[in-house]
Amino acid sequence: MFTDMPILPVIWFAVIGFAVAMYIILDGFSLGIGILFPFSKSDSQRDLMMGSVMPVWDGNQTWMILAGAGLYGAFPVVYATILPALYLPLVLMLLALIFRGIAFEFRGKSRKYRHMFDLAFAGGSVVATFAQGVVLGGIVHGLHVSDYQFAGSTFDWLTPFSLFTGIALVFGYASLGAGWLVVKTEGETQNLAYKALRPLTLLLLLAMAIISAWTPLSNSAIAERWFSTPNVYYLSIVPVLVVLLAVNIFFDVTARREKLIFTKLVMLFMLGLIGLVISFFPYVVPPSVTLWDAASGPSSQSFLIVGYAVILPIVLIYTAYSYYVFRGKVKPGNLHHY
Amino acid sequence: MFGLDAVDLARFQFAFTVSYHIVFPALSIGLASFLMALEALWLKTGNEVYHGLYRFWIRIFAVGFGLGVVSGVVMAYEFGTNWSVFAQRGGDITGVLLTYEVLTAFFLEAGFLGVMLFGENRVNRTTHFLATCMVAIGTLISATWILISNSWMQTPAGYHLVDGHFLPADWFSIIFNPSFPYRFVHMVLAAFISVSFLVAGVGGYHLLRNGKDPAARKMISMAMWMAIIAVPIQIVAGDMHGLNTLRHQPAKLAAMEGHWENQPGEGVPLALVGWPDMKQERNRFSIEIPHVASLYLTHTWGGQIQSLKDFPADERPDVPLVFWTFRIMVGIGMLMLLTGVVGNYLRWRGKLFTTPLFLRWVTIFSPAGFIALIAGWVTTEAGRQPWVVYGLMRTADAHSPLSFGEMVASLTGFIVVYAIIFAIGIYYILKLIRKEPQGELPSGGPGQNNTPKRPFSATLESFDD
């Protein structure tokens, strides 16, 4: 279908897609723990919750910078249209992330102001997640672009759909956070996460179903892609897998099988992203800008790919190593950085 | 409101966030090299005072690096949020350069910073020293990319202009564009000098409390050597950078000098002070010394430079802003030179550590370098106006399609949040500075809870009193 188009922009699409996916999973569970913070029972429980992500959160967040800067270099049009179009939710997200970050650093260093840092952590996480969901919804809903610039108005992003995706992402990240806590903690904290997982998974499934119905209903091209034959035969595997995974997670929660819950939640998220790619490829700023329209020139993209080819594997190895090193359960006794 | 429009607010917001941000990279660049010097001296002499100082400053380095990362996230997005037309038309060049900056920083965090911050007890001394060197070099590489990007906007080279798009024609010419080497030397020296005076101030503060403190004495001593060596070099480098500006951005230089018009056959005077009046196109209340500017700009008695009136009014920068920030920078530079001379005179007389007046002065003067650095950046950035890419793309054509209301809302948000974060950060750094310059080793790294992805964890100091 697109075989006569240059390949380099597609490679870049994959690279940045990978960085975005890494961000959503890794910072997703970190933010999720912040969202679950208000449901904790005690200060020591909050210590554990925060401790379970403490050594890795900063690295998790840097994927967002890598994705953002990569967009600027490889797809300047995406960078230059999405950012102004979703200006207010993006600024809100950045400010919320600053609060969240500062809370991470100082909560453990302070007893007197701890409640304030607790509030900044939970509030920052909820607001940043909601804003990210709104951004996602705003992009999926489509941006009015003309001559490679955003041509809409200030509140174009504010639609029932984007508010819905905002709320949905809060539940989504919370479920990732709960999945993480099930793996990383035990006892009361783990129990709290187990209890949260069933309603959260249900809500996540519901949200995915609503988005899956909403997008083809409002966009005939997407409906055409999913429901025309023969596409419908092999694409229907995506929703089937989603339902199977969700049911599986339910059984795992009931049986308290902790090992694979988080992995399955991650797979659920990945299926959601794959669904979006199926719906929109090759459009990167729906409904009008394709990845080839948005790409920087071959000279820029090849100059930049050299850097990514060197750095990305090193970062991945380091990331994997950090997670390996911090494997196992977080216990009150091994929180010695406090 | 106050005659401002959305573009003015976008500019102000960018200036505010980037001025806030630049303090931390400058601190990191200067401190990383200082730490490298301290460790080298410790390894060479075995003097534990150097080791103690290393441990003292590495905590401050860690917090500064952390705040740099936090404020840097905003910068990575602001080119697109505020300057979307510029981002889209220049992204093929500036986007690539910015991405390389991010990659370098990423690589640094992933690797050597960890060994430097937490590895002292886990690797041998040579390996640890190499890690410190790599971090110091890494901060310089990071600065290189961002300065290439900025210099390219000041003196664009190596591009094709196709339908208003800047496409790379020759990466070598882009990277080594005419102002980059000068800007790089000037900025790196500025970071070194800023940190020297911070170190002098901290040393002075501790000497006033305990005149025998060997670490505090060492700080003042090292800082004064830096002052007497680096400040004169910086003055020469700044002068060369100025000549480069004269050649490539004559309107900026004319604004820096407040030079409105040439009189036939007369040299250019040095305007010491004055208020450039853009409506009347002259300086009011000015005190001028004839011919001096000719001497240092053209190296002749009667040489002339292009004056502001040689440019149409809509191609002139905001003259008072450029004129005065330049004078703030140069003025602080002169005070630094004087401080260095006095300090080394006192050293020669054996009174460097025992002159309370001087110690009090260096304590008060400790943030001076950072003020000069921000003033210098305002000079060069405001001096580039009305262009975003000098001579080729106007700032007024480069901004995002944002409304006034959006800009007011976001600017308010940034100011409030940065004020809170700045207060917390400065409060904490001051707490670290007030501690005696000695202390326990930070420990951590992969395998422990403290890791370089979280530089703050290198310090254990409680936030409370």
The answer to whether the bond into A286 is cis (omega within 30° of 0) is no
A107 CA to chain B: closest CA distance, Å? 9
Closest CA to B67 of B101, B24, B26, B105: B24
Report the pLDDT value the prediction gives residue B131, as an integer from 0 to 100: 86
Round the average pLDDT of chain A to a whole number and report it: 89
Alpha-carbon distances of B336 from A286, B226, B318, B360, B428, rounded to whole Å: 56, 11, 27, 15, 27
B325 contacts: CB under 8 Å, gap ≥ 6: B375, B376, B378, B379, B382
Between A311 and A264, the higher pLDDT residue: A264
Distance, CA of B103 to CA of A315 (rounded, Å): 10
Instruction: Please name the residue of chain B whose CA is at the shortest distance from the CA of residue A54.
Output: B449
pLDDT tens for A143-156 read 998 888 888 888 98
Q: pLDDT tens per residue, chain B (465 residues)?
A: 466 788 889 999 999 999 999 999 999 999 999 999 999 999 999 888 999 999 899 989 988 888 887 788 888 888 888 998 999 999 999 999 999 988 887 777 666 787 788 777 777 888 889 889 988 998 899 899 999 999 999 999 999 998 888 999 999 999 999 999 999 999 999 999 999 999 999 999 999 998 888 999 999 999 999 999 999 999 999 999 999 999 999 999 999 999 898 888 788 888 888 899 888 888 888 888 888 888 888 888 888 888 899 999 999 999 999 999 999 999 999 999 999 999 999 999 999 999 999 999 999 999 999 999 999 999 999 999 899 999 999 998 898 888 888 889 989 999 999 888 878 888 888 888 888 775 444 544 444 445 555 666 666 667 665
- Of B218, B184, B183, B198, nearest in space to B336 by CA: B198
The per-residue pLDDT for B450 is 55
B143 domain-assigned: yes
Q: Which of B113, B165, B451, B462 to mutate against chain A (most A CBs within 10 Å)?
A: B451
Residue of B77, B78, B83, B166 to mutate, interface with A, max A Cβ within 10 Å: B77
Q: Which residues of B touch A9 (CB under 8 A)?
A: none
> Is 0.85 exceeded by the ipTM?
no
A123 to chain B, minimum CA–CA distance in Å?
A: 14
Nearest to B399 by CA among B95, B90, B147: B90
Is A104 an 8 Å CB contact of chain B? yes
Would you call A314 an interface residue with chain B, using a CB distance cutoff of 8 Å? yes
| Beta strand segments in A210-332, E | 283-285, 289-290
Touching B: A residues 9-28, CB under 8 Å: none
φ, ψ for residue A151, nearest 5 deg: -120, 15
Distances (CA, A) of B151 to A269, B10, B178, B183, B390: 42, 21, 8, 7, 10
Which of A67-81, A314-328, B108-122, B361-375 is most confident? Answer: B361-375
Would residue B297 count as lying in a domain? no
Domain boundaries, chain A: 8-328
Report the pLDDT value the prediction gives residue B204, as an integer from 0 to 100: 94
Report whether B119 contacts B128 (CB < 8 A). yes
A14 CA: distance to closest CA in chain B (Å): 17
Asked if residues B103 and B53 have their Cβ atoms less than 8 Å apart, the reply is: no
d(CA B41, CA B36) in angstroms, rounded, equals: 9
- CA B450 to chain A, closest CA, distance in angstroms equals 6
Q: Which domain holds residue B340?
A: 9-248+322-458
Q: What pLDDT, on the 0 to 100 scale, is given for residue B457?
A: 64
Paired with B271 in beta bridges are: B288
Q: What is the pLDDT of residue B375?
A: 96
What is the per-residue pLDDT across A1-18, written as a single tens digit (0 to 9) for each? Answer: 677 888 999 999 999 999
Contact criterion met (CB < 8 Å) for B88 and A80: yes
Report helix angle B319-348 to B214-248, nearest 10. 140
Could you tell me if A269 and A211 are in contact, meaning their C-beta atoms sit under 8 angstroms apart?
A: no
Using an 8 Å CB-CB cutoff, list chain A residues near B76.
Answer: 65, 68-69, 72
- Using CA atoms, how far residue B70 sits from A96, A337, B60, B73, B423, in Å, is 11, 21, 15, 6, 14
Between B76 and A76, the more confident residue is A76
For A288, the 3-state DSSP assignment is: coil
Q: Is residue B317 part of a domain?
A: no
Q: How many CA atoms lie within 13 A of A325 on its CB side?
A: 16
Inform me whether the pLDDT recorded for A337 exceeds 50.
no
Quote the pLDDT of residue B445.
47
Phi, psi dihedrals of residue B384, rounded to the nearest 5°: -75, -25
Total beta-carbon pairs less than 8 A apart between chain A and chain B? 226
Number of other CB atoms surrounding residue A108 within 10 Å: 23
**pLDDT single digits (tens) A235-293:** 989 999 999 999 999 999 999 998 899 999 999 999 999 999 999 988 998 888 999 99
Residues of chain B in contact with residue A79, where contact means CB-CB under 8 angstroms, are: 79-80, 84, 87-88, 91, 95
Q: Does A327 touch chain B (CB under 8 A)?
A: no
CB-CB: which of A83, A296, A311 is closest to B92?
A296
B433 inside domain? yes
In a domain? residue B269: no
Distance CA B347, CA B421 (A): 39
How many distinct structural domains can be found in chain B?
1
Contacts of A336 in chain B (CB under 8 A): 448-449
Question: Which among A69, A297, A319 has CB closest to B99?
Answer: A69
Collect all residues with Cβ–Cβ distance below 8 Å to A234 and sequence separation of at least 6: none
Measure CB to CB from residue B95 to each of A76, A112, A325 and give the nearest one.
Answer: A76
Selecting from B70, B84, B448 the residue whose C-beta is nearest the C-beta of A80 gives B84
